[in-house]
Amino acid sequence: MKNFKYYAPTYVAFGRDTEKKVGELVRRFGGTKVLLHYGGQSAVKSGLLGKVEQYLQEAGIEYVKLGGVVPNPRVSKVREGIEICKREGIDFLLAVGGGSVIDSCKAISSGRYLDCDVWDLYTRKAVATQYMPIGCVLTIPAAGSEMSDGSVITNEDGGLKKDYCVDEFRCKFAIMNPELTYTLPAWQTACGAVDIMMHTMERYFSKDDDMEITNAVAETVLRTVKEQVRLVLDNPTDYNSRAQIMWAGSLAHNDLTGCGTTGDWATHCLEHELSGMFDVSHGAGLAAMWGSWARYTCSENITRFARFAVNVMGVTNDFKSAEKTAEAGIRAMEQFYHSIGMPTSIKELIGRDITEAEIAEMADKCSNYGKSTVGALKVLTRNDMAEIYRMAKG
């Protein structure tokens, strides 16, 4: 078993009405003046933002609002947030939304005390040494940012999407009321389910075979999300199913499903280029890429893919051929993606054929122009990346 670190310091308030605790929690974690950060319109329309304002006022906490975070959050909005924090003496960041809003808060947190541009962190030209505290009211289970150490930001100048990960990014608190997710459209619910499953699968498809407790937790998370998402798509106000998906989203990305194993993360890296270039939903991009990645790499640990097929996808084991069982599992996953409205190719994702020039550009960016590799199950070079994009073309 590999040595591992497990650090999940986020205070979780889970269940109905927990958003009422927001003022108390901001205060508990040292906030007196908050940047209230949110997205396009869902939190305004549902009335959640107004309620959060009310709870902050009741707790005597000052706040300044900054909305307009878009999916694939932009560095320009982050810069705006940093300026507000400096000008207004903000000491706490509160995200009301999903991964995009939380990630934007994380970037503001790391950029607040820098004496260079925040994008330099994401391009590894600088390192932050001081961070602002962050809390969140989660409205979509998907990215897992409420408990993760990661932040993913897009620079609109060049369509670059990059991550920066540090433990200081872990939220001080996460408020998770499954009822707040009732308003999610089916598409966003499905994208979220794919992302949650992928965070688990990026850790599960590993060469490390000796961590049974981690594998069993991962399989349970995968089966649960696969079953519950269908129930939620049929009945968007099914509290119990929404709740299980929401908690799975946090467990899938707070490292619990990766203890003692080596994460792969190649599908995520390949997808980040897709959403950087075409501004597609992250979950849908993952669904479009995964089958091709899986077919390209499965021979590296065919037993694990066969186990996944049987234990997660419910495929009958072909004891004579692990390869056939593994392939049936990959096919079953693709059928599942289609059944919840997700694409399984780039053509389905962007609505047209991708060009060879676009493939070359994504492979260049993903490999840092041939200077770096991605993946652990199989280490992928620039040419491997281009080949997987071609396989995913559709």
Residue 19 as a binder of Zn ion (CB under 5 A): the answer is no
Of 169, 5, 200, 178, which is closest to residue 95 (Cα–Cα)?
169
Residue 140 as a binder of ligand NZQ (CB under 6 A): the answer is yes
Residue 268 as a binder of ligand NZQ (CB under 6 A): the answer is yes
Stretch of residues binding ligand NZQ (CB under 6 A), selected from 17-25, 37-45, 369-377, 380-388:
37-45
Residue 139 as a binder of ligand NZQ (CB under 6 A): the answer is yes
Q: Is the four-CA dihedral 122, 107, 3, 306 of positive or negative sign?
A: negative
Residue 42 as a binder of ligand NZQ (CB under 6 A): the answer is yes
Stated as kind and residue range, the H or E segment containing 132 is none
C-beta separation of 330 from 267 below 8 A: no
Stretch of residues binding ligand NZQ (CB under 6 A), selected from 23-31, 145-153, 216-224, 293-301:
145-153
Residue 264 as a binder of Zn ion (CB under 5 A): the answer is no
Tokens in use for 78?
Answer: 């982050």
Residue 263 as a binder of ligand NZQ (CB under 6 A): the answer is no
Minimum distance of Zn ion from residue 224's CB (angstroms): 18
Residue whose CB is less far from ligand NZQ, 101 or 298: 101
Minimum distance of Zn ion from residue 59's CB (angstroms): 33
DSSP readout, 220-244? HHHHHHHHHHHHHHH-TT-HHHHHH
Tokens in use for 291?
Answer: 């089958």
Taking CB under 6 A as the criterion, the residue among 150, 258, 263, 329 binding ligand NZQ is 150
Stretch of residues binding Zn ion (CB under 5 A), selected from 1-9, 11-19, 152-160, 193-201:
193-201
Minimum distance of ligand NZQ from residue 199's CB (angstroms): 6
C-beta separation of 107 from 159 below 8 A: no
Residues 284-303 that bind ligand NZQ (CB under 6 A): none
Residue whose CB is less far from ligand NZQ, 154 or 297: 154
Of 391, 157, 363, which is closest to residue 297 (Cα–Cα)?
391
Residue whose CB is less far from ligand NZQ, 8 or 310: 8
Residue whose CB is less far from ligand NZQ, 49 or 315: 49
> Which residues neighbour 330 within 8 Å (Cβ) at sequence distance 6 or greater?
291, 294, 295, 298, 305, 309
Minimum distance of ligand NZQ from residue 237's CB (angstroms): 12
Residues 195-234 that bind Zn ion (CB under 5 A): 195
Residues 158-187 that bind ligand NZQ (CB under 6 A): 180-181, 183-184
> Which residues neighbour 136 within 8 Å (Cβ) at sequence distance 6 or greater?
94, 95, 96, 97, 101, 102, 105, 145, 146, 171, 173, 174, 175
Tokens in use for 55?
Answer: 């709870």
Tokens in use for 286?
Answer: 């993952």
Minimum distance of ligand NZQ from residue 212's CB (angstroms): 26
What is the DSSP code (8-state) at residue 380? B
Opening angle at CA 24, ends 19 and 27, nearest 5: 130
C-beta separation of 78 from 112 below 8 A: no
Residue 375 as a binder of ligand NZQ (CB under 6 A): the answer is no
Binding site for Zn ion (CB under 5 A): 195
Q: Which parts of this chain interact with ligand NZQ (CB under 6 A)? A: 39-43, 71-72, 97-101, 103, 139-140, 142-145, 148, 150-152, 180-181, 183-184, 188, 192, 195, 253, 268, 282
